[in-house]
Structure 1
Amino acid sequence: MAGIANSAAERNGAGKQRMRPHRPRRRVRAAAIVVSLVAVGGAAGIAATGPFDARTKDDAAIASAASATSLAQVTRGTLSARTQQNGALGYVGDHPVINNAGGTVTQLPAAGEAIGQGKALYRVNGKPVILLKGSVPLYRDLSRGTEGADVQQLNVALVALGYATKDELDPASDYFSRATRRALIELQDHVGLKGTGQLTPAEAVFLPVDELRVTKVEGTVGGAAGPGAVLLRASSTKRQVTVALNASRQASVKAGDKVLITLPNGKSTEGVVSSVGKVATKTDQSMTVEVLIEPLDAKATGELDQAPVQVAIVSETVNDVLSVPVASLLARAGGGYAVEVVDESGRHTLVPVTTGLFDDSAGTVQVTGEGLRAGQNVVVPGS
Structure 2
Amino acid sequence: MSTRRKVLGGTLVAVLTGGAAGSVWLAGAARPDSEGSAGAEVPTETAEVTRGNVAERVQVNGAFGYGTAYPVVHLGEPGVLTAMTAPEIVVARGGRLYVVANQPVRLLYGGTPAYREFAFGMSDGPDVRQLERNLVALGHDPDDRLTVDGRFSRATAAAVRRWQAAWGLPVGQRTGTLPLGRVVFQPGAVRIKEAQATVGATARPDQPVVTVTSTKPVVTAQVTPERRRLVKVGDPVTITMAGTAPFPGTVLAIGRTATAAAQSSESGGAATASPFEVTISATAPAGAGDVDQAPVMVAVTRQTHQNVLTVPITALLARAGGGYQVRLETDRYVPVEPGLFDSTTGRVEVTGELTPAQRVKVPAAR
TM range (shorter): 0.7 to 0.9
Match of 1:122 in 2: 98
Matches of 1:94 and 1:197 in 2, distance apart? 33
Match of 2:29 in 1: none
The Cα of 1:170 is off from its aligned counterpart by 7.2
2:227 to 245, 249, 263: 249
Match of 1:25 in 2: 7
Q: Counterpart amino acid of 2:356?
A: A
Match of 2:174 in 1: 195
- Deviation per residue, 1:195-237 (Å, 9 max, x gap): 333444321011223142132x222444433322212212233
Write the mapping of 1:1-383 to structure 2, written as runs, cut at 5 A: 25-26=7-8, 30-31=15-16, 33=20, 58=34, 60-61=36-37, 66-109=41-84, 112-114=87-89, 115-143=91-119, 147-164=124-141, 176=152, 179-191=155-167, 194-215=173-194, 217-265=195-243, 267-280=245-258, 287-297=274-284, 299-342=286-329, 346=330, 348-351=332-335, 353-369=336-352, 371-383=353-365
Match of 2:26 in 1: none
- Deviation per residue, 1:243-267 (Å, 9 max, x gap): 1222222222233333333323354
Normalization by structure 1: what TM-score? Answer: 0.74
Q: Which stretch of structure 1 is more off in the superposition, 276-285 or 294-303?
A: 276-285
- Cα 1:298–1:350 change in 2 (3 A) is closer
Matches of 1:372 and 1:211 in 2, distance apart? 56
The Cα of 1:282 is off from its aligned counterpart by 5.7
Matches of 1:146 and 1:357 in 2, distance apart? 66
Q: Which stretch of structure 1 is more off in the superposition, 269-278 or 228-237?
A: 269-278
The Cα of 1:177 is off from its aligned counterpart by 5.5
The Cα of 1:149 is off from its aligned counterpart by 3.8
| Superposition CA RMSD, Å | 3.4
The Cα of 1:175 is off from its aligned counterpart by 5.3
- Cα 1:378–1:187 change in 2 (3 A) is same
Matches of 2:147 and 2:340 in 1, distance apart? 53
The Cα of 1:293 is off from its aligned counterpart by 2.3
Whether the 8 Å CA contact 1:101–1:201 is kept in 2: the answer is yes
Whether the 8 Å CA contact 2:233–2:253 is kept in 1: the answer is yes
Q: Counterpart amino acid of 1:312?
A: A
Whether the 8 Å CA contact 1:82–1:361 is kept in 2: the answer is yes
Whether the 8 Å CA contact 1:108–1:121 is kept in 2: the answer is no
SS in 2 for 1:102: coil
The Cα of 1:161 is off from its aligned counterpart by 2.8
- Deviation per residue, 1:179-207 (Å, 9 max, x gap): 54433322222225643334443210112
Whether the 8 Å CA contact 1:25–1:358 is kept in 2: the answer is no
- Deviation per residue, 1:249-291 (Å, 9 max, x gap): 2222233333333323354333333222222576998732112
Matches of 1:180 and 1:221 in 2, distance apart? 33
Q: Counterpart amino acid of 2:57?
A: R
How many residues get paired? 333
- Cα 1:317–1:126 change in 2 (3 A) is same
Q: Counterpart amino acid of 2:310?
A: S
- Cα 1:271–1:168 change in 2 (3 A) is farther
Whether the 8 Å CA contact 1:108–1:123 is kept in 2: the answer is yes
The Cα of 1:325 is off from its aligned counterpart by 1.0
Q: Counterpart amino acid of 1:234?
A: V
